[in-house]
Amino acid sequence: MKEFAGKVAVVTGAASGIGRAFSRRLAALDMKVVMADVEAGALKAAAEDLEAAGHAVLAVPTDISQADSVASLAEQTLEHFGPAHVLCNNAGVFAAGLSWEAPQSDYDWVFGVNVWGVIHGLRSFVPQMLAHGEEGHIVNTASMAAVTTAPFTAPYYMSKAAVFSLSETLDAELRAKQAAIGVSVLCPELVDTAIARGDRNRPEHLKRKAGEGESPERDLVESAIGAATPTGVDPVVLADRAIEAMREGRFYVLAPEDNPWRTACNARLEDIRLARNPAHAVPDP
Ligand SMILES: NC(=O)c1ccc[n+]([C@@H]2O[C@H](COP(=O)([O-])OP(=O)(O)OC[C@H]3O[C@@H](n4cnc5c(N)ncnc54)[C@H](O)[C@@H]3O)[C@@H](O)[C@H]2O)c1
């Protein structure tokens, strides 16, 4: 995608972290930005920030795990700014746990947001983007988790592998249709965001019951993520990395070559290439 100014961008998870940085950077390119998030108060504050700086934004409280909510986001985008050119399917949540002990509510919550959220985004926005026929781009936020392995992380790692696979399929389909829509799969390393406090937006009916799925391994991973995220990179770095990929039409947007997550990814790819047993190299979070 070459021209951003005056075009319409939609960002999910726009109230915090990487989504908020996406909104800021796309607005700075003179895009009209539709900011969607389930946390209405934080969304309002984030949108007001950009409005105060003179940017054209629309804040739409949205639960991306719900098809109707995302369909309504697409309708409001069309009515307010016209059809979308850029779609950042970015909102996501984290839960750890032993694969056989994690309660179904953990899988349902994480898959609802991380996987169904992206599916709903594609189903609601791709027809709108194809209809106008102008150049566009879709960025799906997966994670380096999608291309590495780690124990005690099944709900999250599986969900990100699904986003990665869906992005490859989407790209193949859009190429087959000769559509003017590029695709990138954004795979961040550790980023300084509020992801470890994702429970703040977890629906009541999907909350863990006392003691459910409890294990020392789950506590270890969840507390390690909480302790490590403040040492992660600035979310703006990720927004800029993705925007550069959009400009260059690059699909895979991975952690830099010298990053430990990239080393772990390369080791896994080599294990697969040689069909040898996985080394399970996990970088310290
Ligand atoms: N922070 C990291 O280290 C890291 C690493 C790799 C990938 N990611 C991915 O980056 C993306 C953004 O996360 P972040 O790190 O900025 O975390 P964050 O918690 O700071 O931001 C996530 C946003 O998503 C919103 N959200 C949660 N559930 C939602 C729902 N049902 N509908 C709409 N919005 C919802 C939250 O309210 C929040 O504003 C996620 O997909 C995450 O998996 C993060």
Best substitution site from 24, 73, 87, 93 to test ligand 1's pocket, by max atoms within 8 Å of Cβ?
93
What's the pTM value of the predicted model, to 2 decimals?
0.98
**The CATH homologous superfamily of the domain defined by 8-258:** NAD(P)-binding Rossmann-like Domain (3.40.50.720)
Q: How far apart are CA 253 and CA 209, in angstroms?
A: 37
Q: 193 in ligand 1 pocket by Cβ < 6 Å?
A: yes
Flag whether pLDDT at 143 surpasses 80.
Answer: yes
> How much is the pLDDT for 283?
79
Distance CA(174)–CA(176), nearest Å, equals 5
Q: Is 106 in the pocket of ligand 1 (CB under 6 A)?
A: no
Pocket test for ligand 1, best of 22, 37, 72, 231 (most atoms within 8 A of CB): 37
Q: Is the per-residue pLDDT at 103 higher than 80? A: yes
- Which pLDDT band, with edges at 50, 70 and 90, does 284 fall under? low
The predicted model gives 194-220 an average pLDDT of 94
Question: pLDDT class for 281, splitting at 50, 70, 90?
Answer: confident
* Protein residue whose Cα sits closest to atom 1 of ligand 1: 191
Q: Average pLDDT, whole number, for the chain?
A: 97
Per-domain boundaries in the chain: 8-258
For the stretch 219-264, pLDDT in tens is 999 999 999 999 999 999 999 999 999 999 999 999 999 999 999 9
Ligand 1 neighbourhood includes 18 CB (under 6 angstroms): yes
Whether 146 is in the pocket of ligand 1, judged by its Cβ within 6 Å, is: no
Among 183, 195, 189, 186, smallest CA distance to 136 is for 183
227 Cβ partners below 8 Å, 6+ apart? none
Q: Give me the active site residues, please.
A: 156
Asked if 155 and 102 touch (Cβ cutoff 8 Å), the reply is: yes
Ligand 1 centroid – CA 37 distance (Å): 10
Q: Is 232 in the pocket of ligand 1 (CB under 6 A)?
A: yes
Q: Are 201 and 38 in contact, with CB atoms under 8 Å apart?
A: yes
Ligand 1 centre and the CA of 257: distance in Å? 24
Measured distance CA(3)–CA(274) in Å, rounded: 43
Please work out whether the CB of residue 74 comes within 6 Å of at least one atom of ligand 1: no
CA of 16 to the centre of ligand 1 (A): 7
- Ligand 1 pocket test: pick from 193, 199, 233 the residue with the most ligand atoms within 8 Å of its Cβ: 193
- Residue 52 neighbours by CB distance under 10 Å: 8
Question: Does residue 282 have a pLDDT over 90?
Answer: no
Which ligand 1 atom sits nearest the alpha carbon of residue 197? 19
Measured CA to CA in angstroms, residue 56 lies from 63, 79, 147 at distances of: 22, 14, 36
